Amino acid sequence: MPVIYGIPNCDTVKRARSWLTAAGVDYQFIDFKKTPPDEALIRRWLQDIPLETLLNRRGTTWRKLSEEERAAAEHEEGAVRLMAEHPSVIKRPVLDSGNRCYAGFQPELYETALAIK
C-alpha cells in the first residue's frame, strides 16, 4: 500500500490525497505533525529523491530558520538533522510507492509510480 507523508492542511497534500481517492487508490497517510520522520526515514527518501528537491528552501519555515541552521543544511548530514527537527522544510507530499519515493505531487508521476490506468 502506498504511503503519503505530509501535513493535512498543505494544499499540495490535499490535492494529492483527493487525486488518490478519486483514482480509487488505497493509501496510508502519515501526518508530519503527529509522526515526524526520523533521520533513518529521511535518508531512505534521499536514496530516490535528490537533496535539492527534498529540502524545501522556498517555504516560510526555511525563511524563519537561523543563518546557522541554514548553513548546516549545506551538507547532507546537517540537512537530514534539520529535516528531522523541522519537518515543515520537507517538500510535500512524499510518496512511498513501495518501490520508490517521490517528493511533490504530479498526477502523471503518480499514475506511473502506482501503475494506475
- The DSSP annotation for 42-85 comes to HHHHHTTS-HHHHB--SSHHHHHS-HHHHHHTTSHHHHHHHHHH
Instruction: Kindly give, in sequence order, each residue whose CB lies less than 8 Å from that of residue 10, ignoring residues fewer than 6 positions away.
Output: 92, 93
C-alpha to C-alpha distance for 21 and 40, rounded to whole angstroms: 29
Which grid cell is 56?
Answer: 524545501
C-alpha to C-alpha distance for 84 and 76, rounded to whole angstroms: 12
The answer to whether residue 101 is catalytic is: no
Of 3, 7, 10, 51, the active-site residue reads 10
**Bridge-partner residues for 55, per DSSP?**
90
Active site residues: 10
